[in-house]
Structure 1
């Protein structure tokens, strides 16, 4: 017998008794849940549905009351107007009738009511807000409506009905018109209820409003309108017909059966071979003599109760099955623990071996990291040397023209000096002083050019700081002014009035601008249009500098290679092909971006995008 057989054999003996006990307990528990638990779950979910229905009911009643209270005092206010009293006292005055009709229409539009009209002592309508509609109330007699004769008795007329003229449902408010304390007419305001019904639709419930006779006159479902939830006895029909509450609408009894208990009122509506059961909660509105009811479909609550019962039965079955699985797992536990001990020992051996391997790999990795760090330092130094080489190459190209730039003021200074000696000998001291001043200006100009060359030639400090963009652009233009003049270039500057301050180094940024402007001058010299435009603008937190020439532009296929080191489209001896590559890396170091593209109207367009700072730093700018 194996070790596994030795472990599992004694565990199989007590299983039959445990299975019988577990099965008996499971059967009893499932029977108790099926008999008692389903009823309890149904009551629980009906209570939840009842609470939701009461919340909806309170909200619906509050909306109805708020809607009614908005118009409750409107008839009394209108009845106190002098024009209303005048028109009921003199209904034959057509000019006054026309004015009051227009006035009532204005008020009706302002308060968004359905209709406003005024009736005389006999109930005949004299003026109305709908006087110019297809079915006006003017001339109609409404003395049979309760809102009329209740107002005659000195009270407030209230009535819900289907209009006999417009055949639209509405709630009516009436108020008497008194002239010198005598009754002369009634002001009636009709309020539309369709807008309230619209807010009830789309929910998982029904809302119905019934009158004192039990007839549904408002509902979130249109097919329930004019159905009675009480038997339509002759007395009820007679009272409804007396006031012509529902005009020509056809009334019918709602086919339903009421069930439930003292806690829950349930009704089943039976129509066309289908029956729907609803949980009903109701609240009376005595001020309007209405009853508002919310009806919730019980299918969801019953489905939840059934689901809960099934889940409970499944839980019992799963619990029994879990117990059986647990017993079986206990039988195999010791065998598994034995296998785990062997696996653990094997794992420890493999961990020891892998630890030694990882230690060796770690040493090699440290050596490789040190080697890469040394390579990176060499690369940075090489990059710095390349930048300096590019500047020195640019200085070499400038040297011939700069010597002319220096010789010209030197020759002029010598002439001014010779003239000054002659003027002194002749006693013209003032003219001689003017010549000396001109000599001083020429010397200042040469000093300025020399200073820019020294700054451009020296190696920059790598620290980034706040740099005034306009000063760097001005120094760059002054440095290249000899080239611009000799090439006949028309350079236009547009740097705005924002005094842009960017993050970078002034000397390295000047090198970038020198490289780009030099390329633009070279491109402009190849054509007849020798205009170059340099602009600088702020865009949110970025400063955008663009340089556009009117030369041949960038050839197709070269835009992706133009920033590569040693790539040049110029002839032999006219450049190292490092200028744009160095410029690209400098702008990247500044956290910016350098792009080139062809302008739609011709020529190349270089765009420099740099980080803009609101206030320049107070520290000394880096070079």
Structure 2
């Protein structure tokens, strides 16, 4: 009975050993691949860098040869001039030398060379294009220079050196001046190489150097390497350099350099300022100038690319191995997962059915709650409107006694004027009677104005926002509260600026706000001896700021946040419902503005209303935010 389990366990153990062996073989193969890939990647990217360097080298050599070819025939042409031959055979005094100097200066400027000069057979310069400079060559002896010694025997002189007089680097061409088959002197042309060298700087990724036969760098894209030798400065090399005074008094130093070879490419490891840098070297000889032009490419980029390629290859191998392992593991567990998925699917379907039923029930409850909330919101808006109207009617009730006095005075005066008019008519004084009747008409107009303002104040407001002229609204407000200002002997100062101001709001509701705030200000100053109220307004950016300041006792400390609460009042019993400021606050909020209350530093309270500025040409009402 135990044979089958034993065979199965042995088979599983053998399979595990097979997997372990396969993994070890895979790891060994991956390591061998990485080692081989490392060698190949470095070789590939070094070859690629060498190809780029060869392209740069060909271009640099071509530029150098082109630059030299432009001037190599110039000294021979000048040497053939009769005036030059005559100068060497029969100088003829200072006048002829001056003419030759000016002539050489003209040619030098025309060909944009550095210097052109004539040397006699002894090596002394007798005429030069720089005759009028502080570092003129005239009188200098250059017989030690190879370009003179080669040309004086009938050959062509070429030499690169640092000028002993000008201390400027240049390349010299020398040509013999032939007179009746014999060499009478030499014409030398010096050209500067700084312009070519400048084009090499900031090349990025590579350096260009030109070395002489002794291995000394005399042209380079890196100025710090100038006059450094890439070869050991042996006594023989130094002696040959000093003999020709190629570098004048410049200090020559060996460059800290180590040469190696990798994949058939020469490499320089150069240490400068304590930092070693490895370069791949591509060089080409210029035998016509006895130069060697080298392009040095920093290998950091190539090696970085090689390392990146190796890492990518290693990661690819690892990812492939992981993918294979995952695939086999998933395949082994596929049947188990399918069973789990079937069970999970059945469970999920059952839960979905249950959850759908619950969501349907919840949705019905939410619809019922939404309907109730909408109904409640409508009732709240209606209640708010009723509260605003109640506040106005309460204010009208408080005004009724005083306003009856306002009406009684004009009515009594009108009665007296009517009696006087009747008497005047009986006496035949028609003109006086007409004057009396006009006075009666004026009194009736005043009572009509007061009645109109009270009627407008009491009616239900329009729920649309329009452009409201601030001055007219304040004037209408004063028609309602003026009796209190007069009876309380209160001084009211108004400053609305020179430019008419228009705000966005409703004229009736804005008037209600102003009536509430002015009434509170009047109540405050009636309790003090300083009975002054100031109304100011100005436009700030896109808003109009209206301030109403009284000289009363101010707001009690700690009540700033509560004075806008409904039914909150600091007045005595029977003097207010505590709704005025709350209603005013909500009205300003509906206008999209802000109402603030604070104490003034000099005493009293300040109520500030900020409303959106509007243009007087605004005819279409704006949709008002009721919420």
User: Shorter-chain TM-score category?
Assistant: 0.5 to 0.7
Q: CA, structure 1 residues 304+615, in 2 after alignment: closer, same or farther (shift >3 Å)?
A: farther
- Counterpart Cα distance in 2 of 1:436 and 1:483: 29
Partner in structure 1 of residue 370 of structure 2: 369
The answer as to whether partners of 1:257 and 1:267 remain within 8 angstroms in 2 is: yes
Post-superposition offset of 1:217: 8.2
Partner in structure 1 of residue 107 of structure 2: none
Q: CA, structure 1 residues 332+226, in 2 after alignment: closer, same or farther (shift >3 Å)?
A: same
- Counterpart Cα distance in 2 of 1:535 and 1:367: 51
Deviation sequence 1:259-307 (CA, Å, 0-9, x none): 6799988532135876321468999xxxxxx999997753354244224
Q: Say whether residues 1:499 and 2:492 are aligned partners.
A: no
Partner in structure 2 of residue 538 of structure 1: 539
Post-superposition offset of 1:450: 0.8
1:440-451 map, 5 Å: 440-451=441-452
1:290-439 map, 5 Å: 297-299=298-300, 301-439=302-440
Residue of 217, 226, 233 corresponding to 1:214? 217
Partner in structure 1 of residue 557 of structure 2: 556
The answer as to whether partners of 2:471 and 2:496 remain within 8 angstroms in 1 is: yes
The answer as to whether partners of 1:216 and 1:229 remain within 8 angstroms in 2 is: no
Q: Return 554-563 or 15-24, whichever deviates more.
A: 15-24
- Counterpart Cα distance in 1 of 2:47 and 2:570: 86
SS of alignment partner, residue 480 of structure 1 = helix
Partner in structure 2 of residue 568 of structure 1: 569
The answer as to whether partners of 1:536 and 1:545 remain within 8 angstroms in 2 is: yes
Q: CA, structure 1 residues 538+320, in 2 after alignment: closer, same or farther (shift >3 Å)?
A: same
1:473-484 map, 5 Å: 473-484=474-485
Post-superposition offset of 1:528: 2.3
Post-superposition offset of 1:366: 2.0
SS of alignment partner, residue 573 of structure 1 = coil
Higher relative contact order, structure no. (Cα contacts within 8 Å, ≥ 6 residues apart): 1
Post-superposition offset of 1:453: 0.5
Residue of 135, 148, 156 corresponding to 1:142? 135
Partner in structure 2 of residue 592 of structure 1: 593
The answer as to whether partners of 1:50 and 1:281 remain within 8 angstroms in 2 is: no
SS of alignment partner, residue 275 of structure 1 = strand
The answer as to whether partners of 2:217 and 2:227 remain within 8 angstroms in 1 is: no
The answer as to whether partners of 1:565 and 1:577 remain within 8 angstroms in 2 is: yes
- Counterpart Cα distance in 2 of 1:622 and 1:433: 51
Deviation sequence 1:544-565 (CA, Å, 0-9, x none): 2111112221111000101000
- Counterpart Cα distance in 2 of 1:342 and 1:387: 65
The answer as to whether partners of 2:591 and 2:611 remain within 8 angstroms in 1 is: yes
Asked which structure has the greater CA Rg, the reply is 2
Post-superposition offset of 1:364: 2.2
Post-superposition offset of 1:252: 2.1
- Counterpart Cα distance in 1 of 2:600 and 2:53: 68
Q: CA, structure 1 residues 163+352, in 2 after alignment: closer, same or farther (shift >3 Å)?
A: farther
Q: CA, structure 1 residues 230+497, in 2 after alignment: closer, same or farther (shift >3 Å)?
A: farther
Q: Return 392-401 or 528-537, whichever deviates more.
A: 528-537
Q: CA, structure 1 residues 614+142, in 2 after alignment: closer, same or farther (shift >3 Å)?
A: farther
The answer as to whether partners of 1:38 and 1:309 remain within 8 angstroms in 2 is: no
- Counterpart Cα distance in 2 of 1:292 and 1:550: 95
- Counterpart Cα distance in 2 of 1:318 and 1:621: 66
Post-superposition offset of 1:378: 1.7
Partner in structure 1 of residue 120 of structure 2: none
- Counterpart Cα distance in 1 of 2:494 and 2:54: 75
SS of alignment partner, residue 571 of structure 1 = coil
- Counterpart Cα distance in 2 of 1:263 and 1:478: 107
Q: TM-score, normalised by structure 1?
A: 0.66
- Counterpart Cα distance in 2 of 1:521 and 1:567: 18
Q: Return 415-424 or 229-238, whichever deviates more.
A: 229-238
Partner in structure 2 of residue 136 of structure 1: none
The answer as to whether partners of 2:266 and 2:280 remain within 8 angstroms in 1 is: yes
Post-superposition offset of 1:13: 7.5
Deviation sequence 1:309-346 (CA, Å, 0-9, x none): 13311320231132122201211111111012112212
- Counterpart Cα distance in 2 of 1:434 and 1:160: 122
Post-superposition offset of 1:14: 6.5
- Counterpart Cα distance in 1 of 2:217 and 2:31: 46
Deviation sequence 1:509-531 (CA, Å, 0-9, x none): 11111111111111122222222
The two structures, once aligned, show a CA RMSD in angstroms of 4.7
Post-superposition offset of 1:143: 2.3
Partner in structure 1 of residue 491 of structure 2: 490
Deviation sequence 1:53-110 (CA, Å, 0-9, x none): 999xx9xxxxxxxxxxxxxxxxxxxxxxxxxxxxxxxxxxxxxxxxxxxxxxxxxxxx
The answer as to whether partners of 1:228 and 1:251 remain within 8 angstroms in 2 is: yes
Post-superposition offset of 1:543: 1.9
Q: TM-score, normalised by structure 2?
A: 0.66
Post-superposition offset of 1:419: 2.9
Partner in structure 1 of residue 188 of structure 2: none
Q: Say whether residues 1:525 and 2:515 are aligned partners.
A: no
Q: Which structure 1 residue ranges, 5 or more long, are not aligned?
A: 59-119, 126-140, 150-158, 173-191, 284-289
- Counterpart Cα distance in 2 of 1:465 and 1:293: 84
The answer as to whether partners of 2:465 and 2:504 remain within 8 angstroms in 1 is: yes
- Counterpart Cα distance in 2 of 1:395 and 1:401: 10
SS of alignment partner, residue 456 of structure 2 = helix
Deviation sequence 1:17-71 (CA, Å, 0-9, x none): 677667656644553443145533664488589989999xx9xxxxxxxxxxxxx
The answer as to whether partners of 1:214 and 1:230 remain within 8 angstroms in 2 is: no
- Counterpart Cα distance in 2 of 1:608 and 1:19: 84
Q: Which structure 2 residue ranges, 5 or more long, are not aligned?
A: 60-127, 143-159, 171-193, 285-290
The answer as to whether partners of 1:461 and 1:622 remain within 8 angstroms in 2 is: no
SS of alignment partner, residue 548 of structure 1 = strand
The answer as to whether partners of 2:464 and 2:621 remain within 8 angstroms in 1 is: no
The answer as to whether partners of 1:227 and 1:252 remain within 8 angstroms in 2 is: yes
Post-superposition offset of 1:500: 2.9
Q: CA, structure 1 residues 410+272, in 2 after alignment: closer, same or farther (shift >3 Å)?
A: closer
Post-superposition offset of 1:455: 0.7
Deviation sequence 1:167-204 (CA, Å, 0-9, x none): xx9999xxxxxxxxxxxxxxxxxxx99xx99x97xx99
Q: Say whether residues 1:256 and 2:249 are aligned partners.
A: no
